[in-house]
A = this chain, B = another copy of it.
Amino acid sequence: MFRMVVERRRLESRVRSRTRQAIIRAAVEVLGVDSAASLSDIADAAGVSRTTVHRYFAERADLLEAISQDALERFALGAERADLDTGSAAEALDRLCQELFELGDVVLLLFSEPQLITGSEWEEENDADRAMRRVVERGHREGAIDQELSPSWVAEIVWHLLYAAWRHTKDGASKHESLRLCLHSLHKLITPATR
């Protein structure tokens, strides 16, 4: 009896959490194309009524906040999956890029909607950035990454290369080719100058 009461509301029901995810994903997709899209547009894309959207996210700002959170979590998960402490720094950075490349639509949205990343949780270094910094510092020590390039600049570049690659796919290039170009460019960039 007690168990029932306690467990009943501990987590969201699967139905609700699936619906919530669907709305967030749809929002990312739609807002990526038109950052001024209305909640109706998002609801349609999610295959849900506008009423339902409001049930999950009372105000538009709440939805945006949720998108922001979701993005951070997905970035963190990608960084984790990249298993950065294995192999050379260059290889680790490669794997990180490959993981983050999968999140292209999120990257696209964050670039085209800078308002989203003005929250306090973006002020401090997020998990992906922290992961990048660690790899770059390791690369510096191991002599695999140009010392002229600060970790923050490398991070900036990585995000932009990912963005560029993703845009390249939107222009018709294959995902594989785009990712290849992205990694090739990154390699040349970070390789220390031969002297």
Q: Indicate with 1 or 0, residue by residue over A143-160, a CB within 8 angstroms of chain B CB atoms.
A: 000101100110011011
Q: In the complex, how many residues of chain A place their beta carbon closer than 8 angstroms to a beta carbon of chain B?
A: 31
Task: Specify which chain B residues have a CB less than 8 angstroms from the CB of A164 in the assembled complex.
Answer: 156-157, 159-160
Task: Specify which chain B residues have a CB less than 8 angstroms from the CB of A189 in the assembled complex.
Answer: 185, 188-189
Task: Specify which chain B residues have a CB less than 8 angstroms from the CB of A149 in the assembled complex.
Answer: 181, 185
Main secondary structure of the interface of A (DSSP, over half): helix
* Copies of this protein in the complex: 2
Task: Specify which chain B residues have a CB less than 8 angstroms from the CB of A113 in the assembled complex.
Answer: 35, 112
B194 adjacent to A188 (CB under 8 Å): no
Q: List 25 A-B contacts (CB under 8 A).
A: A34-B115, A35-B35, A35-B36, A35-B113, A36-B36, A111-B112, A112-B112, A112-B114, A146-B188, A149-B181, A149-B185, A152-B171, A153-B168, A153-B181, A153-B185, A156-B167, A157-B164, A157-B185, A159-B164, A160-B160, A160-B161, A185-B189, A188-B188, A188-B191, A194-B194
